[in-house]
Amino acid sequence: MDRREFVKNSVLTSGGMMVGSKLLAGNRREEVCSRPNIVLIMTDQQTAQAMSCVGNDDLNTPSMDYLARYGTRFKRAYCPAPLCGPSRSSMLTGRLPHELNTTINLPEQSGYWSRDIKILGKIFKDGGYDTGYVGKWHLPVPVEEKDFHGFDFITNTKRRDWQDASIPADCNDFLEQKRDKPFLMVASFINPHDICEWAREQSLRMEPIGKAPVSKECPLVPENYEIPVGEPDILREQQKRSWKTYPTIEWKKDRWRQYRWAYYRLVEHVDRYVGYVLHALAKNKQLDNTIIVFASDHGDGVGSHRWNQKQVLYEEVVNVPFIVCKPGRTKARINEKQVVNVGLDLIPTLCEYSGIKLPAELIGEGQRKYAEKAGEWNNDKTIVVETEFANGTNSFGITGRALIKGDWKYIVYSKGKKREQLFNLKSDPGEMDDLTLKSEFKEPLKKARTSLIKWCKENNDSFETFIQL
């Protein structure tokens, strides 16, 4: 049986433990509460195309494929910012990165955020849920301030070796607790983020993957491997400023092919641990009344446009997995057109399923309707992705925005001789044909600029000053 048939039959084997239709059939139980449990599974630096369920034959992700089999996969989900700290801050508060003043990675620091900001754990705790968080944190809020973030069970948050391998066991500890109320549990993994260390030829923190095969045995470079004509000059300047982030500048195709091989192996590692979390839910008889949401904080260039890591606004970096799953109770659906901001829209979606009242100040849109009716979408919806180039906690003072509406994507950066790009993602999903270079697209360009200015004004975003009509 090949892996396609394996996934099709929904028998997900992870390290010798089975999670799938056979297990589910014997997993019915009397529910202690009509409200569902909520499990949020997050990976780090995973682009939307890095799953076998999307048709990528360069890797095998049976655990993620299982979630897609029993859920809705949103093809057009975007991170709020292509950097760990800003994106995770947005996802766990439902607010925009610039609104949080968290546009680069920041250390934990008491008092940085106002207590008026409601964090996911606090929202659910106040809504009558037990709350647990396991794994990578990366918020500018001390883990110890449980009264602020609201996660009563919080562990394994500090960066250390084998952190991902410990997450399933810690999740199981939380699941084994006796309770008379539903729970919210976050399982926050680090990989495939270790691709950063691999590119620098450093030892990987968590997962040995062995030596990459010779390039001819590795995945091909992507179709959009070349740097697009008219690309904003500031992007390659940023690469040169930070070898630690971008050690790939002089790489040839052979090395990029090995990079893609290593990246996909790291995704497969984290997929195995996702499977262990699913097994923990199953053996604790918690699958039947649980909604599982799977997402990543941002993607990775994976060699597209010869880019590794994040911060840039190309699709591979900002388009992320987003799956809403009801194990054993739904059939696979794909929402092709609904655009999702996983920062603004995550908490509203979880609140819709849990019945918790959404804090009035949050402006995101719940996605339950579009998960249950995957052929529908909000045609008027506009989302904006923010970025600020930085090396660690040091900003380079260059910011950017990507506005996405329908088939159109407009990108603009704050500095540079040539600062804009305009793409039609339907006809040019690889973002190789910059329409700002063609006079016949003056009107769509002007409309995109106007739309972004309007969005900036509505959302108190000072980036408006960098957009020229």
Peptide bond between residue 247 and the one before it cis (omega within 30 degrees of 0): no
Nearest CA among 200, 159, 160 for reference residue 308: 200
Residues of the chain with CATH 3.30.1120.10: 384-466
Cβ atoms < 10 Å from Cβ of 11: 16
pLDDT at 244: 87
Residues 6+ apart with CB under 8 A from 195: 45, 259, 262, 263, 266, 300, 308
**How do residues 208-243 score in pLDDT, each as one tens digit?**
899 999 999 999 999 999 999 999 999 999 999 888
State both tokens at 242: 């930070």
Q: How do residues 372-430 score in pLDDT, each as one tens digit?
A: 999 999 999 999 999 999 987 889 999 999 999 999 999 999 999 999 999 999 999 99
Instruction: Give bridge partners of residue 295 from the DSSP assignment.
Output: 42, 322
Give residues with Cβ within 8 angstroms of 156, minimum separation 6: 134, 135, 163, 166, 167, 170
Q: Which CATH number fits domain 3-10+34-377: 3.20.20.70, 3.10.420.10, 3.40.720.10, 3.40.50.720?
A: 3.40.720.10
Rounded distance between C-alpha atoms, residue 423 and residue 428, angstroms:
7
Query: Please, where in the chain does CATH 3.40.720.10 lie?
Result: 3-10+34-377
Q: What does the pLDDT look like over 302-329, one tens digit per residue? A: 999 999 999 999 999 999 999 999 987 7
Regarding pTM above 0.85, the answer is: yes
pLDDT attached to residue 25: 36
> Residue 330 — pLDDT band, cuts 50, 70, 90?
confident
Ranges 174-188, 200-214, 304-318, 331-345: which has the least confidence: 200-214
- As its CATH architecture, domain 384-466 has 2-Layer Sandwich (3.30)
